[in-house]
Amino acid sequence: MSVDALKAALPGYAKDTKLNLGSVTSTSQLSDQQLWGTVLACALATRSARVIGELAEEAGDNLSAEAFEAAKAAASIMAMNNVYYRATHLIGDDAYATLPAKLRMSVIGRPGVEKLDFELWCLAVSAINGCGRCLESHEKVLRDGGLSRELIQEALRIAAVVNATAATLEAEAALAPVPASV
């Protein structure tokens, strides 16, 4: 199970996705923990069993048990936060921003790994889930913490490529002919 298995599974028309998947996972300037935590959190955010299965094993080979759990926590908490904060933003009534969310999210304050790594994973998941408010918030924390725009961009590229991989493979599975019953 691996990045290579996903690359091999991608159809010819997705050559750019295949090349990008190899590139974002092999030429990154992110630390191994930042890279593989981002890959794992993004795989989980796609909800594609195939992509999760292939990438979780490789991420597990490159992450401590604590970082693996924290990447899963980032995907989980952002699945909730991205819906809530995107919705309050899209309603268009600024009064919602002044109301307390009343949602437990203590993992953001105590993720079990370096705070900036966790924030990076939250940012990448927020890109997949399309929450502008969360993207702005996590990007600010990352920039204030000293992370460069180039490293933040790498996480966004990983999110884009992992998402494209999942979308392509899920579409191919849906388009596959159904076997005739015997």
The residues annotated as belonging to the active site are 131, 134
Cα separation, 38 vs 58, whole angstroms: 12
Crossing angle of the two packed helices 49-62 and 65-91, in degrees rounded to 10: 130
> What is the full DSSP assignment across 115-158?
HHHHHHHHHHHHHHHT-HHHHHHHHHHHHHTT--HHHHHHHHHH
53 neighbors 84 (Cβ within 8 angstroms) = no
Q: Which residue has the tokens 């593989």?
A: 36
Question: Is the separation of the CB atoms in 44 and 52 below 8 Å?
Answer: yes
- Single-letter code of the amino acid located at 6: L
- In our burial notation (b when 16+ CB lie closer than 10 A, e otherwise), range 133-151 reads bbbebbbebbeeeebeeeb
